[in-house]
Amino acid sequence: MLLVLLVNVDMKVVLRNYVVVAGILVVGVFLLSLIGMIPNLQYNRAGVIRNSFGFIYPTDFASHCFYLFLAISYLLKDKFIWTRSLFGVLLSAFIIKYCDARLNALSILLATVIFIYFYYSNGKK
């Protein structure tokens, strides 16, 4: 609903604000959970420990990472393609290893491939 009401607003401004606010919150909660000020809830599924890093569920943390990755990649769509691609692969590996959120990890990898495709299909090299 909010995006419908923002008809005449530049989407890059909205995404930039989202990246700043959500990025600070996600990194802050992540760091606070690592030092023990916020509980890092851990779930056991078939012998695999899934960390939530201060969020209520591991998939919630992974979803925040996915949306932040999408927003950052869109804002930097014409720059740093290989740095963003490496970051996407490493973020995906981190989410698989520590959160076991397979769908979010696969979505990040797929988004990485899509961003690479559009980068090179537009004639940028």
- Note the pLDDT tens digit of each residue in 75-112: 998 889 999 999 999 999 999 999 999 999 999 999 99
Question: So what's the pLDDT on residue 11?
Answer: 86
Q: Which among 44, 87, 45, 81 is positioned nearest to 65, based on CA atoms?
A: 87
Q: Which among 27, 5, 30 is positioned nearest to 72, based on CA atoms?
A: 27
pTM for the model stands at: 0.89
